[in-house]
Chains A and B, each alone.
Chain A
């Protein structure tokens, strides 16, 4: 009986997925390589051929260092397959830092756009290009129309988009867009690092990552670490992000919303 239900359920899920992708074959998923995280995502990994939203909390909404580092590491395995495009508003992205984390900077084309609309336009254009596997863009907000257009561009060639929500310096906070077409939404903040026992200094960079929204998956919160960061093997791992710890599962404890760091 339960088997039968399971089969029915799987068939229905596949049907819905086919409707959502407009009949095209899904572009697959990129597993993080840890069941604790992949189980929350549809298809057992980060859905490809979709776009994802990465936001920062507090100070990071402006400086956007942790969200950028996290998005770069999510996109790094894709960038190794083809080309990546990073659309900036202010060009403070620094390639040596990307190289140290394990993102291949020689595969990255950086584009500095003049305004928000231009950023989205360049992202769309790049996503619809053969050979571009990942497109990262720094945008203040994506409304429903722009999100839908990004999604169509993703579906055209199976490219994966990463929208890094970033507020311009000195700009006032805009109302957060409520509805969104993004496949996932991540909120990323820095987390204290733990150097290996007996060593001093800083450990590998760590982030506190909350999966706030996930189509066809479950939300969750984790502490992730950049594997082999700042070493010569930085790029030679299956996935540059490693799960360190799992934070409270919000589905199990809905009464107590996950504590958001104030910094």
Chain B
């Protein structure tokens, strides 16, 4: 059955409402124009709007399907008060052509209630949300449908009637969730919001009178906004490992750029330089009117006094940490690593890739240096053919690899590597997974690491030979 998912203001005036059957609606309004609902597109649009709202506060939480919470604690003064901030938001949203309702209150519950059922643009003063909530209907509490129906049946039409009820019978009759919602709206209990990203108090923003668009300007404002945030980090004795700059375009899109540091830092010039090569990926469109920066993974960093002969000593930019940062940000974190031991006898599992800097020392025992291991290990072992070897477990006498026949002059082995049977089902364990490794040297001196998968006589198919690596 087709139902209406949403209606426009004009349709609502004609008596249509969401949830109505499409056929009923067509009967009521014969000239009704409908479009298919696209929940995924709506969700994407909401995400875009949330990204855009970062210009007001870094703590934005989605209220699916059609709302969002903005935690403006401590940021409204940047706009000169809550009403000025609300006006600014209203002006920008109207310019975007979005229908909306706004409200500001102490608690998310009260703000939700006022935005959905109160007068648009209500600002409840601190501690005064109860007065504003009283005339609203019970649905304003975000109740589950059962409790809402029960409340409606009992003739409770306004929230003040519910607020006046004694707590214990209220919980017993309508469920603990109802009481919880009431407490959350009135600020008597806390409500956890799922923010788009962990809120951080380390934010800075720059707004421009005239939108900017040239690459030089973008580089300069990136430096300025980074310097602004880094000055605060330095004053607080902190450094951060991740920075996100967002460029807010005139048309309402926010374009983020993220860089990471291997060690927490707050050197504005260095951080701005990491952003620089990637600024060209930002399309300024008709101009950028505002830029914000947020620092994540903030940790205390002790300051260091500059030496009196600082000009002679090496610049920080030439050190190892900035090099690793440059490489990681340019190539990606998976392309820069330091190999560390991992506890496994299976060759391809014996290496653990750790970040190049700042990783704790490995817990695994170091590699056994007495066991000869090749310097080149193929990601996939390569098959070798025409293997001549004495049964059951002698090293090969000759083999063919990449079309060339190699006669073995010296050989060592076997070194048996069994599969890690304790990690899988007992049924999957088989002798066919046992590998016998041999180190062999051909007549020219090339040293190979061969293995035979499986044992002779264990199954009908003869075991196969593979080349897993090359010694230098």
Interface residues of A (CB under 8 A from B): 59, 63-70, 72, 83, 91-101, 105-106, 108-114, 118, 122, 125-126, 128-132, 157, 189-193, 195, 201-203, 205-208, 229-232, 234, 261, 263
Contacts and interface: CB of A to CB of B under 8 A. Distances in A.
Given A83-B320, A110-B336, A97 B444 contact: no
Nearest to A203: B410
A111 B335 contact: yes
Contact of A95 (B323, B351, B371, B447): B351
A110 B328 CA distance: 11
B376 A263 contact: no
A202 B336 contact: no
B265 interface: no
A63 B376 contact: yes
26 contacts: A63-B376, A68-B375, A68-B472, A69-B472, A91-B379, A92-B379, A93-B375, A94-B375, A96-B373, A99-B366, A100-B373, A106-B340, A111-B331, A111-B336, A113-B331, A113-B335, A125-B327, A129-B323, A131-B320, A189-B444, A190-B445, A192-B443, A202-B372, A202-B441, A207-B472, A261-B444
Interface in B285-319: 314, 318-319
Interface of B: 314, 318-320, 322-324, 326-327, 331, 335-341, 347, 350-351, 356, 366-367, 369-379, 402, 404, 409-412, 439, 441-447, 469-472
A99 B447 CA distance: 17
Contact of A94 (B366, B377, B410): B377
A205 B367 contact: no
A208 B472 CA distance: 11
A97 B331 contact: no
Interface centre among A59, A97, A130, A189 (most CB of B within 10 A): A97
Interface centre among B366, B371, B377, B412 (most CB of A within 10 A): B377
Minimum-distance CB pairs A-B, first 8: A69-B472, A95-B339, A97-B375, A65-B470, A263-B444, A94-B377, A190-B445, A201-B412
B471 A63 contact: no
B447 A202 contact: yes
A196 to B, nearest CB: 13
Main secondary structure of the interface of A (DSSP, over half): mixed
A46 to B, nearest CB: 18
A90 B350 CA distance: 18
Nearest to A206: B445
A129 B472 contact: no
Given A100-B372, A111-B331, A130-B319, A192 B409 contact: yes
Nearest to B448: A65
B376 A64 contact: yes
A101 B336 contact: no
Contact of A205 (B323, B335, B444, B471): B471
Contacts of A95: 339-340, 351, 367
A192 B406 CA distance: 13
Contacts of B338: 106, 108-110
Contacts of A114: 331, 335
B335 A190 contact: no
A65 B323 contact: no
Contact of B367 (A64, A67, A96, A208): A96
B446 A97 contact: no
B404 to A, nearest CB: 8
A109 B354 CA distance: 10
B320 A92 contact: no
Contacts of A193: 410, 441, 445, 447
B369 A100 contact: yes
B376 A65 contact: yes
A250 B257 CA distance: 58
A259 B237 CA distance: 66
A59 B446 CA distance: 10
Contacts of B324: 109
A205 B472 contact: yes
Interface centre among B356, B371, B412, B445 (most CB of A within 10 A): B445
Contact of A192 (B314, B337, B404, B441): B441
Contacts of B379: 91-92
Contact of A202 (B369, B378, B439): B439
Given A109-B338, A111-B331, A232-B369, A92 B378 contact: yes
Nearest to B334: A112
